[in-house]
């Protein structure tokens, strides 16, 4: 090939790339980068397939090694209410202020898309998290952490059939600020016939509460 032709080819390549980059920039800047948006069906399907493929085969086919007992489910429930409900909600719907503001959002874990994942896949996701999403890795490589994650796998299987009583029980296990605990104690004292009316919380109620 003549040097002149090569130069022409190179220049048109650069021009094409610049055009594509400019179009992509215009497309993104016209839509913004809001995390409030909902990923499209294709994006979700591709991301889930890629994530599935990223779980090593050996891990995917693992069965929960811990037998399900009331104690195991209770431990899973307490752990979920404490560490997971901020994003996933006590009922697994993902409808919390944080969950709804993430991109991608935590899925409704009661639905078949999550329930059809294998024990091994659920365990792997809990232990290792999901890159480029809000889902953190919880495992630290210890036996204790693995045990806690298997408890959570059992609890996730129970999400579709949680009773209103169990959900109420979980509300009592959700993390609370010292101010909220103080106010609850004061309210209890007031209701039991104490003198002082419950004080207002010292921090003003913030507007981001949903």
Q: Nearer Cβ to ligand HEC, position 82 or 184? A: 82
Give the count of residues interacting with ligand HEC (CB under 6 A): 26
When asked if residue 87 is in the footprint of ligand HEC (CB under 6 A), the reply is yes
Choice from 64, 81, 104, 170 touching ligand HEC (CB under 6 A): 104
- Asked whether 60 and 121 are in contact (CB, 8 A), the reply is yes
Q: Establish if 114 lies at the interface with ligand HEC (CB under 6 A).
A: yes
The candidate with the shortest Cα–Cα distance to 126, out of 88, 160, 164, 183, is 88
Pick 133 or 183: Cβ nearer ligand HEC: 133
- Minimum distance between the CB of residue 80 and ligand HEC, rounded to whole angstroms? 6
Between 130 and 198, CB nearer to ligand HEC: 130
Other Cβ atoms less than 10 A from the Cβ of 100: the count is 15
SS (H, E, C) 125-177: HHHHCCCCCCCCCCCCCCHHHHHHHHHHHHHHHHHHHCCHHHHHHHHCCCCCC
Site string for ligand HEC, 142-161 (x = CB under 6 A): ----------x---x-----
Give yes or no for residue 167 binding ligand HEC (CB under 6 A): no
CB under 8 Å to 22, separation ≥6 — which residues? none
Spatial CB neighbours of 143, under 8 Å, sequence gap ≥ 6? none
- Tokens coding 24: 């992509």
Q: Which residue has the tokens 């499209």?
A: 40
Q: In the complex, what is the shortest distance from the CB of residue 106 to ligand HEC, in angstroms, rounded to a whole number? A: 4
In the complex, minimum distance from the CB of residue 84 to ligand HEC, in angstroms, rounded to a whole number:
3
- The residue written with tokens 């490589």 in the block is 141
Kindly state whether residue 135 participates in binding ligand HEC, applying the rule CB under 6 A. yes
Name, in order, each residue with C-beta under 8 angstroms of 153's C-beta and a sequence gap of 6 or more.
64, 76, 119, 122, 123, 126
Q: Indicate which single residue of 64, 88, 110, 150 sits in contact with ligand HEC (rule: CB under 6 A).
A: 88
Alpha-carbon span 135 to 3, nearest angstrom: 52
Among 134, 139, 160, 198, binds ligand HEC (CB under 6 A): 134
Interaction between residue 125 and ligand HEC (CB under 6 A): yes
- Under rule CB under 6 A, residue 64 binds ligand HEC: no
Give contact residues for ligand HEC (rule: CB under 6 A). Answer: 51, 83-84, 86-88, 98, 102, 104, 106-107, 109, 113-114, 117, 122, 125-126, 130, 133-136, 138, 152, 156
């Amino acid at each position: 090939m003549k040097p002149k032709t090569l130069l022409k080819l190179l220049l048109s390549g650069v021009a094409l790339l610049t055009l594509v980059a400019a179009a992509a920039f215009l497309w993104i800047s016209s839509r913004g980068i809001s995390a409030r948006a909902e990923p499209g069906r294709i994006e979700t399907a591709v991301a889930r397939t890629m994530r599935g493929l990223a779980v090593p085969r050996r891990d995917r086919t693992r069965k929960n090694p811990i037998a399900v007992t009331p104690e195991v489910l209770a431990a899973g429930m307490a752990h979920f209410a404490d560490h997971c409900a901020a994003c996933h909600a006590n009922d697994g719907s993902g409808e919390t202020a944080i969950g709804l503001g993430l991109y991608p959002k935590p899925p409704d874990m009661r639905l078949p898309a999550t329930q059809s994942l294998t024990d091994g896949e659920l365990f792997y996701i809990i232990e290792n998290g999901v890159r480029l999403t809000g889902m953190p890795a919880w495992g630290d490589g210890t036996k204790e952490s693995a045990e806690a994650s298997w408890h959570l796998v059992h609890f996730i299987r129970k999400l579709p059939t949680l009773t209103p009583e169990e959900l109420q029980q979980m509300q009592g296990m959700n993390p609370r600020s010292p101010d909220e605990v103080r106010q609850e104690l004061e309210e209890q004292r007031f209701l039991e016939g104490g003198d002082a009316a419950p004080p207002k919380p010292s921090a003003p109620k913030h507007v981001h509460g949903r």
